[in-house]
Amino acid sequence: MDPIGFGLENFDAIGGWRSHEGGQPIDSAGQLPGGRSFQGPAELKAALLSRHSAFVRCLTEKLLTYALGRGLERADRRDVDNIVAKLSRKDYRFSALVLGVVESEPFLHPQPDIRGEAP
């Protein structure tokens, strides 16, 4: 499991809170890249919010990667920058992120891969 995911370990598969699993206490401690430690979802949230810009950019990159079905390239940086800028003007609403991705140039006009096939 991703170390960040440990912060959400108290939630079961359907989102219910749990403090024990199989009679053992849940260990929801983890560490972010860069070394900041956290214990549980509240501290994870605080840690992510303390680096708001990095979080927004990373989430944008991950969603765009998923939407494109490929890794991001240098040329995609401008599109990520544009989406992030729009998000700041739209109060960082998730719906604005989704719209930014589906209205982005690489999503609307996918480039053929090296075999000449469109994704």
pLDDT at residue 34 in the model = 85
Q: Could you list the mean pLDDT of each consecutive 10-residue stretch along the chain, which spans 119 residues?
A: 85 95 94 90 93 94 96 96 96 97 95 61
pLDDT at residue 33 in the model = 83
Strands 20-21 and 24-25: antiparallel
pLDDT at residue 118 in the model = 57
Q: Where are the domains of the chain?
A: 3-49, 52-108
Q: Look up the pTM and report it.
A: 0.77
